[in-house]
Structure 1
Amino acid sequence: MAIKRPTLAQISEIAAGFGFHLDEQELANYGEALQGNFDAYDAIDALPDHLPAVQYPRTPGYRPEGDENRFGAWQRKSVIRGAPDGKLKGKTVAIKDNVCVAGVPMMNGASTFEGYVPEIDATVVTRVLDAGATIVGKSVCEYFCFSGGSHTSTTGPVQNPRKPGHSTGGSSSGNGALVASGEVDMAIGSDQGGSVRIPSAYCGIVGMKPTHGLVPYTGAMPIEATVDHLGPMTNNVLDNALLLDVIAGGDGLDPRQLQLPASTDYSGGIRGGVAGLRIGILREGFGLANAEPLVDEAVRAAAQVLRKLGASVDEVSVPLHAAGLAIWLPIAAEGATQQMMKGNSHGFNWRGMYVTSMIDHHAGWRARADELPDTVKLTMVLGEYFTSRYNGRYYGKSQNLARRLRADYDAVLQSYDLLLMPTVPLRASKLPPAGCPMSESLSRAFEMLANTAPFDVSGHPAMSLPCGVAEDLPIGLQLVGRRFDEATIYRCAYAYEQAIDWQQTKLG
């Protein structure tokens, strides 16, 4: 008898929590009636879990210190050699530390998560290794990935290698620093509000948030299923396409994966050029309240480069884009509170692979909740208030409005192949000092989301690539395409990358 039976007092407490009350005889009846159900749970407990096998040998690795971790970007170093041949042969890859790598300790940026060691590889990890890459370690991420800055991880801030003392962006903060510094060729990040594209923009690298569901999220720690994405981060466009070639496609385990395309060859047509492409400069993506004029200037100059290369470029308008961040907020805050925090990361009501060891370990946050940073606490208070006070109606309404936002983008993308705008409205901010006011820390965590978060809720593919630099801080250009048309984004981005040297495109 493995499952501990509840006392009658516990049954009474559970019933009262639902608003119904049981007298002494009813309690006895419930206790008796439940015994057969507990026997079924005993049977489930005795069966082995059904999880994928781990194929490639590895060690737990170690956390590097000092000069071996000069930007604070490595969470763990552990060399895992993949297949002897494949599309990624010779490439080194870092994995964001919210993605399971079997046998390698995982923290997801969180003190409350310390001590967890996954027993499975995420689907993307297996695919990278099958393609011949060598995984060289896990990269630091923000605390539970709840920040677009790089200052909330329990292991400390991640420094921007282009200009130390400045943010790398987040939540894939370590990836941004490791790729930009040349310590790895490639990295896999996650993106729920911009977490692949923000560090790519801040660090001057290439980051793709693919169409929602194109890359299986299986084995990564979920936040909110309708905005969970995994995507490639690299130093150039071709490597980015090669990595997406490898990690894209269905795995039969992720319910986010619906109506997938038959082909996932993104590198094959990358040299096709931009002649004949129709590009829309999204009016609402410029002139934001906190925009730096030189960022807008650099992105508009990039549009002119694409025009000279043969694309047609016009200004277009999607008025609802200006409300995209507001539409995203209830989905992200209420969804994350219910799924990731109250639902112990995985939640309920979907078919696929559940990492049950992660569920058990993450549940321990409740006993250490005071350790959570303000970014997480604030999100939880907001999410729980609106879920409990307004019954989740704003979550539901925002999901409805997300369909409208998606349709509005789709309408413009019937006439245009791509949308163009700044990835983020500003260059990398200075890292906030330890012990700074909460308002400053929160501002540095959320100030950059207006052009990234809308495409998490709409599900469209969106890439950031560097288009200029000012005072050693890169500027990111964002290209957005039709759903499952990553190939056109790559074709345009590659042509632009070959035409200019962004590090010589200096502004200000």
Structure 2
Amino acid sequence: MVEPALPVKYPRTPGYRPGPEENTLNAWYYRCDIKGAAKGKLVGKKVGIKDNTAVAGVPMMNGSKIMEGYVPEFDATVVTRILDEGGQIVGKTACVDMCLGGAGFNNALAPVLNPVQKDHVPGGSSSGSGALLAAGEIDLATGCDQGGSIRIPACWCGVVGLKPTFGLVPYTGCVPIDMTLDHCGPMARTVRDCALFLEVLAGYDDGNDPRQPPNIKVPEYSKQLPDKLEGKRVALLREGFEICEKDVADMVKTAAHKLEQKGAVVTEISLPGHKGGSHIWTGIAAEGMYQTMFRDNGHTVGWKGQYFPSLLDKLGQGYATRSLDFSEVVRPFLIVGNYLQTSYHGRFYAKAQNLGRSLKKMYDDALKDHDVIIMPTLPFKAPKIPKTDSSLAERMAASSGMIQNTAPFDVTGHPSLTISVGKSAGLPVGMQITGKLFDDLSVLQVAHVYESLRDQ
């Protein structure tokens, strides 16, 4: 009997670790050159792959010394789909240590720099993807998002990032954090490129990823981007603005009202439960991450999908021999997760998952009367990279204090996109557009129309 394995269809070499002159933003982990099919939707596009996603024969570090030296023997499903559509994979983009941290400074090798202002953080955990897109070094990039890790760097680097509906894009071959929070999705400089990329990445993965329902339909998103929004109902979420710096809130509100010029109906709604969404996320993420990543070596038990024994081995060996090499941002996650599991036996994880269903219903009910919900992506602009002598409390606050508007939609699974509305004090500000489950198209349509207004 033959064990099923993911295909590796296109020739490649291991690539190389770029030197400082080629890696001025510290945003590359590895460079490579893998050419895909001669024809397809992504021909001519240079693509970066987040370094928590397997590319066969190319080292994968997941931002952490724990995984240093690991070379997967399989291509993640999204990698195969990119190559099948003619994309050219030109490297692995740097991410933070084990993808834990929203700022982008705690990569094991070096902090990734924001190309807009290099002394500021780029956002994480898909920090290299956001920075390289903004710098124009690649056309498209993959990101993975459990608490905002696509949208945070896209926002602070001034590009487009979409956390798709949960399960729309297979997570097969990416290092998980929690099976109920894991999302993989597209990042690009324009909404049209983001929509085109989603067409390639999305779709059922033949049961390899149990996060997915089997009846997924993938429209041609890029061919359904309109010039107007006649009748589209846009809700501004009051609580999503109240937590923000004034300049951020004002810029996003002004941007959203511009949609009225194209026929959208823009109103304000209040969902007080939104402010508790990030706390629900914390209850899930703290124990879910500890259980999935550290106790089960990157896979939980009791699910039917593709397992990766080489990844399990590498993670298990790394935890046993190099646990002191975790960044100071990761260690508190481990301590809290272990404490909650051993002292409360999963009670808080269970309560958070139950509350997550109530949170989902709250947004679902609001979306019955509206096509999308808009708020600032992040409550403040990108801060400066913490100094090396900063305190642990300062570094922890810098790495996780921005997820109030992003994390709730990882819990509920709603599609959520960030697009830049301009700069304040020279730093990008993002608008987050969230839609109904599996209505990623409406999210992209609203974003595209705003983009056309912004760029006039």
TM-score, normalised to structure 1, is 0.88
Name the CA distance, whole Å, in 2 between partners of 1:70 and 1:105.
Answer: 20
Name the CA distance, whole Å, in 2 between partners of 1:366 and 1:465.
Answer: 41
In the other structure, the counterpart of 1:284 is 239
Q: 1:299 aligns with which of 252, 260, 279?
A: 252
Name the CA distance, whole Å, in 2 between partners of 1:108 and 1:323.
Answer: 30
In the other structure, the counterpart of 1:274 is 229
Mapping of 1:339-358 within 5 angstroms?
A: 339-358=292-311
User: Secondary structure of the equivalent of 1:184?
Assistant: coil
- May I ask how many residue pairs the two structures share in their alignment? 454
In the other structure, the counterpart of 2:143 is 189
Instruction: State percent identity of aligned pairs.
Output: 46
Name the CA distance, whole Å, in 2 between partners of 1:174 and 1:235.
Answer: 14
Moved more, 432-441 or 146-155: 432-441
In the other structure, the counterpart of 1:334 is 287
CA contact (8 A) 1:249 1:264 kept: no
User: Secondary structure of the equivalent of 1:88?
Assistant: coil
Unaligned runs of 5+ in 1: 1-46, 503-508
CA contact (8 A) 2:6 2:77 kept: no
Mapping of 1:222-233 within 5 angstroms?
A: 222-233=176-187
1:391 counterpart = 2:368: no
In the other structure, the counterpart of 2:438 is 484
Letter in 1 for 2:253: R
CA contact (8 A) 1:346 1:354 kept: yes
Cα displacement (A) at 1:52: 2.0
Name the CA distance, whole Å, in 2 between partners of 1:179 and 1:98.
Answer: 18
Cα displacement (A) at 1:262: 2.3
Cα displacement (A) at 1:378: 0.6
1:445-468 residue CA offsets vs partner (Å, 9 max, x unmatched)? 001000000000000000000001
In the other structure, the counterpart of 1:418 is 372
1:322 counterpart = 2:275: yes
In the other structure, the counterpart of 1:215 is 169
> What's the C-alpha RMSD, in Å, of the aligned pairs?
1.1
User: Secondary structure of the equivalent of 1:398?
Assistant: helix
1:149 counterpart = 2:103: yes
Cα displacement (A) at 1:48: 5.5
1:310 counterpart = 2:258: no
Cα displacement (A) at 1:53: 2.4
Cα displacement (A) at 1:67: 2.1
Letter in 2 for 1:163: Q
User: Secondary structure of the equivalent of 1:100?
Assistant: coil
Name the CA distance, whole Å, in 2 between partners of 1:345 and 1:79.
Answer: 28
CA contact (8 A) 1:278 1:313 kept: yes
Name the CA distance, whole Å, in 1 between partners of 2:26 and 2:285.
Answer: 27
1:462 counterpart = 2:416: yes
Cα displacement (A) at 1:435: 3.5
In the other structure, the counterpart of 1:120 is 74
CA contact (8 A) 2:237 2:374 kept: yes
Name the CA distance, whole Å, in 2 between partners of 1:285 and 1:418.
Answer: 14
In the other structure, the counterpart of 1:256 is 211
Name the CA distance, whole Å, in 2 between partners of 1:149 and 1:335.
Answer: 21
Name the CA distance, whole Å, in 1 between partners of 2:202 and 2:245.
Answer: 35
Q: 1:63 aligns with which of 12, 17, 26?
A: 17
Name the CA distance, whole Å, in 2 between partners of 1:265 and 1:99.
Answer: 25
Letter in 2 for 1:306: L
User: Secondary structure of the equivalent of 1:299?
Assistant: helix
CA contact (8 A) 1:330 1:383 kept: no
Cα displacement (A) at 1:271: 2.1
TM-score, normalised to structure 2, is 0.98
In the other structure, the counterpart of 2:401 is 447
Letter in 2 for 1:337: Y
